[in-house]
Amino acid sequence: MNIIEILFNFKEILGSRIKRPIRFVQMIFRKLAYWLSYFPFKLNFFVVSFILALGYYWTKTNYFLPDLLESHKLLFELLFRLFWVFALIIVSISLFTLLLSWGYLYLIKSNSKSGFAKVTFGVDGFQAEAGKVPFSLAFNSLIRPLLGVVKARLVFSDFSVTDELQLYKNQYAKSKILRSGIYSAEGVYLSDRKKYDIYRITVFFEDMFRLFSLPYNLSYEKQVYTVPPMSVFKDIKILPNKTTEQTVKIENPQKVQGELFNYKNFESGDDIRRIVWKIFAKSRELVVRVPEIVDPHASEIELFTSFHSTVPEFDKSVFSTYLLNNYKDRLRIVYETAKSNGFVVRHQPDQVVDHAMMANADIILYNISLSTWQIDQALDAYVGKKKGGVLCVSSLVSIEDLQKVLARTDNTLMVFYIKLSKAFEKKSPITFAKLFIRKDESRDTVLKRKWLLSALRNKILKNEKLIEAELDISSAKCFRL
């Protein structure tokens, strides 16, 4: 553990006591923690120094007494000096190899015409699924300190950093016995589904005793983003209400709504063989089945994903990012389900996102991943007068807007309601070992405990009850995720 880790732990403790931490203060903490990482002395240095000083004082006090025999005194002095000389030699060798490795990095950089470091991110260099993201950092001809380690961190534009990556693997050139460089392919943990602005990569050289740490900044500015991980969901058939485009053909012709879904009143020219006589016997009205046909043209599914929030203070809470990630995961399930049915999905985003990395991306997944909670585009104005399609809403949606949208639609609208409070319902079982062995708490565990005592919890639960009651009486097809 070094100074930067202690400072980040202190920030987490302090942040848990403040209900609304100011972003300016958070930035100060991040910058301070970032610059303190350049401090060459690690925590082990101070611990070892304190133990040696205490041992020196205790030895002088207990063994170098005035009434001690001269022979014993000479023996203690010899052992004492041998210990300090041996310790000094070992630490000097460790420090020398550390300085050699650190200085050699600057040497190979200045003499290298091509890139001496190779960085790869994700599968295409820009995009990866959130979680353990594939990340590789390789250096050619880099010397590792004797029994020491070389580590690296990604530094983002807001001065937040990732966990340390250890460059412990050796890479070899063809027909050569000696290694040609070292690399790391462990991956970095990026939990949020969003855009990340990489500011630089900081490489740390540490000696065998982890007493010193010498940093080196590798210039690497790049924008990357993470998408919700792929999930499996129960089979839901999402069909378009009608064929909206007759210009683009698809490979596999799809069935569109027909006799399994709708009836219509008998009109002149309709085939009398399609008259439903059972309905005529009951209501004395002539109705015919609308035939189910195979359409070779591309039918579109219109997808609406609302990120509107009616709780202004929610965006500043500790639950905002966590529940946003959970919401995006559910949106991807809906999107993948709609896409798997073979129809063209046309997405209507409720906000404008950065288009810098959109070139080779899945546009819908890209928009979902970079979207955030917003208070500008309300649900009623977002959906407009359109009656059909697939609508995804969260527990933060305005109940008044939802009532307006449902009032002017029918069963042609499919509503996927993502209940945010379900993210805190899963509880880990209490085992006998947990009563006596305490482990480091995960982010999920800490947030679940805070959720039980949060003032926002009652507001969201109350809104969820209103939403569920409205969906129960609606004519739209509703699904709860």
- pLDDT at position 464 is 93
- Tokens 């219109």 identify what position? 302
Residue 241 in any domain: the answer is: no
Residues 185 and 268 in one domain: no
Residue 388 in any domain: the answer is: yes
Residue 59 in any domain: the answer is: yes
Residue 99 in any domain: the answer is: yes
Q: Could you give phi then psi for residue 181, rounded to 5 degrees?
A: 175, 180
Residue 85 in any domain: the answer is: yes
Q: How far is CA 65 from the centre of its chain?
A: 63
- pLDDT at position 196 is 94
DSSP 377: S
Residues 323 and 189 in one domain: no
Residues 471 and 338 in one domain: yes
**Residue 176 CB burial class (10 angstroms; 0-12, 13-18, ≥19):** exposed
CB neighbours of residue 129 within 10 Å? 18
Strand ranges, E, within 298-370: 300-305, 344-349
C-alpha to C-alpha distance for 363 and 78, rounded to whole angstroms: 75
CB neighbours of residue 245 within 10 Å? 13
C-alpha to C-alpha distance for 307 and 70, rounded to whole angstroms: 84
Residues 304 and 283 in one domain: no
Residues 398 and 431 in one domain: yes
**What separation in angstroms does the CA of 333 have from each of 126, 190, 243, 278, 352?**
22, 20, 24, 40, 22
- Nearest in space to 7 (alpha carbons), one of 124, 141, 159: 159
Q: Could you give phi then psi for residue 186, rounded to 5 degrees?
A: -75, -35
Q: Which domain holds residue 70?
A: 40-227
Residues 312 and 328 in one domain: yes
Residue 183 in any domain: the answer is: yes
Whether the Cβ atoms of residue 332 and residue 347 lie closer than 8 Å to each other = no
Residues 267 and 204 in one domain: no
- pLDDT at position 106 is 82
Residues 73 and 201 in one domain: yes
**What's the CA angle centered on 294, arms 291 and 297, to 5 degrees?**
125
Residues 366 and 456 in one domain: yes
Residue 344 in any domain: the answer is: yes
Residue 6 in any domain: the answer is: no
Residues 317 and 203 in one domain: no
Residues 143 and 107 in one domain: yes
C-alpha to C-alpha distance for 326 and 228, rounded to whole angstroms: 9
- Nearest in space to 348 (alpha carbons), one of 382, 372, 373, 380: 382
CB neighbours of residue 182 within 10 Å? 20
- Nearest in space to 298 (alpha carbons), one of 361, 349, 253, 241: 253
**What separation in angstroms does the CA of 23 have from each of 14, 15, 30, 158, 317?**
14, 11, 10, 11, 11
* 251: CB partners within 8 A, 6+ apart: none
The domain total for the chain is 3
One digit per residue, pLDDT tens: the chain, 481 residues? 455 444 444 444 444 444 445 567 777 877 888 888 889 999 999 999 999 889 888 877 776 667 667 777 777 788 888 988 998 999 999 999 999 999 888 887 765 555 678 888 887 888 999 989 988 888 877 888 988 999 999 999 888 888 888 888 887 777 677 777 788 878 899 999 999 999 999 999 999 999 999 999 888 889 999 999 988 766 677 767 554 444 444 544 554 444 444 667 777 767 777 788 878 787 878 887 766 544 444 467 889 999 999 887 787 788 899 999 999 999 999 998 888 877 788 898 999 998 888 888 889 999 999 999 998 889 988 988 777 789 999 999 999 999 999 988 877 888 999 999 998 876 555 555 554 555 556 777 888 888 888 888 889 999 999 999 999 888 888 888 8
Residues 97 and 184 in one domain: yes
